[in-house]
Amino acid sequence: MPAYRFNLLLIGLTLLVKAFQPAAETTEPFQATKSTPAAKPTETLVPLNHLPALQGDYFKLHSEAVGRAFHIYIRLPEGYDSQADTQYPVVYLLDGDSLFPILAANHLFLTFDDQLPEAIVVGIAYGGFSPAINKRHLDFTPGAADGIAGDGTAAAFLQFLKHELLPRVESHYRADANKRVLFGQSRGGSMVLYSAFTEPDLFWGRIASNPAFRPGREFFYAAPASASRNDLHLIVTSGTADRPQLIADARAWLAHWQGSDKLPWQLEFKVSEGGTHAADSPASYRSGMRWLFQLAPQ
């Protein structure tokens, strides 16, 4: 074959191969045209909308009281958009990083099986589990002599709830401020108790799941603040397979307060047979919500 024909054939094959190769990636930013709308900023996207049981809203809220930002996830009730005149109970979940996807979705099943009222569920998240980001050991702990130096900023976190988060949620969504519920697990349960002792009127119902009483155990034996409402409720749950020290602390605390006429809330104590420390959170949520809304015993 003559050389010039071979070269033409080689060029033709090269062009054919390139035609079927994927386009090379570029580091240049994509330029939107009139026919191609620009992508929405990441902050405005709510990927959970593709999970119907968690459908709702999200926003990031910087707290002046705490000096840090929180990621706030909102689960809206089934039929929220079509029930424009309906107000709903609102449940605030501490440790929203882990508990929001579990308990907010489970709330839907409880409306099916237990006839629990629909509710707006709010997850208060840090955005990660790394100690550099997640400050639950600070936010959920009262100042105490037996604590670690620098820990114990529950007072500031409570101010964040009272003056920043609750007003934001209840001005943007149809939340019934008279039917607020606070749920916390372990150290979060300690924060639930802290709020009950210091600001009893702030939440109508509280669920402290396997709460940690240390550090600051003595705080939970002091007289709680007085309340102006007479319809407040606090339920504490304790799993029989929880850590021995936590079980002992919970039972000692109950023995101290049970039958007392000095409490500003009705107190209920629920023992979860076989319940472990963290994985029993859905059972604590279920039993707590059933009791708060006066559903028939299981």
DSSP string, 54-90: G-EEEEEEE-TTTSSEEEEEEEPPTTTTT-TT--EEE
Beta strand pairing call for 69-75 and 175-185: unpaired
**CA distances (Å), origin 292, targets 203, 235, 251, 287:** 12, 8, 21, 9
**What are φ and ψ of residue 98, in 5° steps?**
-110, -35
Map out the domains of the chain as residue ranges: 68-292
Q: What is the pLDDT along the chain (298 residues), one digit of tens a residue?
A: 554 443 434 444 344 334 434 444 333 332 333 333 444 444 555 667 789 999 999 999 999 999 999 999 999 999 999 888 899 999 999 999 999 999 999 999 999 999 999 999 999 999 999 999 999 999 999 875 444 555 678 999 999 999 999 999 999 999 999 999 999 999 999 999 999 999 999 999 999 999 999 888 899 999 999 999 999 999 999 999 999 999 999 999 999 999 999 999 999 999 999 999 999 999 999 999 999 999 766 5
Give the pLDDT of residue 47: 67
Give the pLDDT of residue 48: 77
Beta strand pairing call for 88-93 and 56-62: unpaired
Give the pLDDT of residue 70: 98
Please give the single-letter amino acid code of residue 23: A
Q: Which CATH class is domain 68-292?
A: alpha beta
**CB neighbour list of residue 242: distance below 8 Å, 6 or more residues apart:** 210, 250, 275, 276, 277, 280
Query: Which DSSP symbol is given to 279?
Result: T
Give 237's strand partners.
209, 270
Beta strand pairing call for 56-62 and 69-75: antiparallel
Under a CB-based contact definition with an 8 Å cutoff, are residues 63 and 136 in contact? no
Residue whose structure tokens are 């079980």 = 247
**CB neighbour list of residue 263: distance below 8 Å, 6 or more residues apart:** 224, 234, 257
Give the pLDDT of residue 297: 61
Rg (CA), the chain: 26
* Helical spans, DSSP H, in the chain: 3-19, 96-99, 105-113, 136-139, 154-160, 166-172, 187-198, 244-257, 281-292
**CA distances (Å), origin 37, targets 31, 34, 46, 168, 208:** 10, 7, 18, 31, 47
Give the pLDDT of residue 143: 73
Under a CB-based contact definition with an 8 Å cutoff, are residues 73 and 100 in contact? yes
